[in-house]
Amino acid sequence: SSSTWFGPGGEATLAGVPLVRIAQEFGTPAYVLDETDVRLRCRAYRSALPRAEIAYAAKAFLCRAMADWVRAEGLSLDVCSGGELAVALSAGFPAGRIIFHGNAKTPRELQTAVAEGVGRIVIDNIAEIGRLAALVPLGRRQKVLVRVVPDIAAGAHAAVRTGREDQQFGLSIASGAAGEAVARVLAQPALVLAGLHCHLGSQITAVEPYEDAARVLVEQMARIRETHGVVLPELDLGGGHGIAYLHGERGLDLASLAARLTAAVEDRCAGLGLPAPRLIVEPGRAISGPAGLTLYRVISVKKALNHTYVAVDGGMSDNPRHALYGSPYEVRLVGRRPQGGMRTVTVVGHHCETGDTIAENVPLPADVHPGDLIAVAATGAYHHSMASSYNLTGRPPIVAVGPEGARLLVRREEAGDLMRRDVGL
């Protein structure tokens, strides 16, 4: 549930701050993020899984303030690029609590990760094992996890399913690649194998795939003990916890995930005579997604033959998810009382292609007109982090709201920012 409140007069607030005031002060489009909501979601994870390590997946959304909130709430951080690592470190995030992911980490990223003392690096291919070991200074050992493919189908869209065979992430158990990676890591004195990792996919709303994955990975841990005589202390089941985007939709139930996942791991371990490893989960969307919304200004309302198009001052550059995955969104009029009924419209952006749609066939008040303010909910994850400057539109600012009101976290990208990288004629 998000903390947005829509009153009968169209007045809408986030964390008590009127959205109209945010639009006036910071302009549109703008991403608005409820700090308290983010923090409460961090706490909900910690209390649902008190013995587990909760690593927030930075790819969902990261800026320095966000890294600071996550640190203060006692979470770890999952990063998947040198850029995310740099932002986290510059916010003072402790390197030891960072997990570094990626199927194609560059030698430079690996070098920075080792030099900065990143807690765990996730091995996702054979080539990086030797490459990584060579970077570890004498007298030190780098902890790693090996990412395996559990061969489980889960995830809202083909583009975000990563748990099956024959996609580019993780090492296949069936092909023997996972076993080879484990043997090679164990043969490197500079590396310590802390455990296994998998990530099934994203926007998953059922618990079963996680239970299945836990069993598959525990069985692999038992095999590793048989083959190599080592007991691995950690089991990282990745993220992918789904959220509600639409009214009445339900995300993954955290309480039931916690109970059933813990039981699946303990039961399977007991059956195999293994000590239960420490669980790690990596929620991204479930921490920041519901805490954010996007504010747009309506620029035009156009009647086509069979559709009405409401065009706003943002679009696929701040929300590419409809274009990429066909993701549905709801749109709300903000800041005035509508006259008359509702009509079905398609909300589009200002970019130069037909696919630039934010919400297709959604209800908006029939009197929606240029100048109106509209809000799109649940945009706190994979919106700013996936934003582009397509058509040389600057990316929107991020405004945090909290008990002290509204404050800017990341300012709007202006033409000057866009030109700073252009070295000239």
Binding residues (CB under 6 A) for ligand LLP: these are 57, 59-60, 78, 101, 160, 199, 202-203, 238-241, 282-286, 321, 381-382, 386
Q: How far is the CB of 157 from ligand LLP (least distance, A)?
A: 7
Answer yes or no: is 180 a known binding residue: no
Say whether 282 counts as a known binding-site residue: yes
Which amino acid appears at position 159 of this protein? A
Place of tokens 């086509």: 304
- Compute the least distance from the CB of residue 13 to ligand LLP, in Å: 26
Min dist. Cβ of residue 387 to ligand LLP (A): 11
Using the minimum distance from each CB to ligand LLP, give the nearer residue, 112 or 319.
319
Ligand-binding annotation for 325, yes or no, is yes
For residue 234, the cross-strand partners are 195, 278
148 vs 46, 251, 272, 340, 425, CA distance in Å? 25, 26, 20, 56, 48
Work out how close the CB of 328 gets to ligand LLP at its nearest, in angstroms, rounded to a whole number.
Answer: 12
Choice between 167 and 308, CB closer to ligand LLP:
167
The token pair at 55 is 């690593």
Q: Is 9 annotated as a binding residue?
A: no
The CA-to-CA distance between both ends of the chain, in Å, stands at: 51
- Amino acid letter, 353: E
Q: Which is nearer to ligand LLP, 12 or 156 (CB)?
A: 156
E strand map for 86-149 = 98-100, 120-123, 142-149
192 burial type by CB count under 10 A (0-12 exposed, 13-18 middle, 19+ buried): middle
Q: Which is nearer to ligand LLP, 71 or 321 (CB)?
A: 321
Q: What DSSP line would sit under 134-168, residue for residue? A: HHSPTT--EEEEEEEE------SSGGGB-SSSSSS
The gap from C-alpha 113 to its chain's centroid, in whole angstroms, comes to 21
Torsion of CA 204, 206, 212, 217, to 10 degrees: 40
Cβ closest to ligand LLP, residue 230 vs residue 255: 255
From the list 3, 6, 2, the residue with the least C-alpha distance to 338 is: 6
309 is in an annotated binding site: no
DSSP H helices in 368-423: 415-420
Alpha carbons 348 and 83: distance in angstroms, whole number: 31
240 annotated binding-site participant? yes
Shortest CB 40 distance to ligand LLP, Å: 17
Distance CA 327, CA 325 (A): 5
Per DSSP, the residues of 221-261 read: HHHHHHHH-----EEE----B----STT-----HHHHHHHH
Min CB(80)–ligand LLP separation in Å: 7
| Residue whose token pair is 């089991």 | 235
Cβ nearer to ligand LLP, comparing 186 with 386: 386
Would the annotation count 283 as a binding residue? yes
- Which 3 state secondary structure label does DSSP give 215? helix
Q: b/e map of 78-114 (b: 16 or more CB within 10 Å)? A: bbbbbebbebbbebebebebbbbbbeebeeebbbbbb
Please, which residue, 238 or 402, has the CB nearer to ligand LLP? 238
CB 61 → ligand LLP: shortest distance, Å?
9
Structure tokens at 275: 């000590």
Confirm whether 352 is a catalytic residue. yes
Binding-site residue numbers for substrate are: 285, 321, 325, 353, 382
Binding-site residue numbers are: 240, 282-285, 321, 325, 353, 382
Active site residues: 352
Binding-site residue numbers for pyridoxal 5'-phosphate are: 240, 282-285, 382
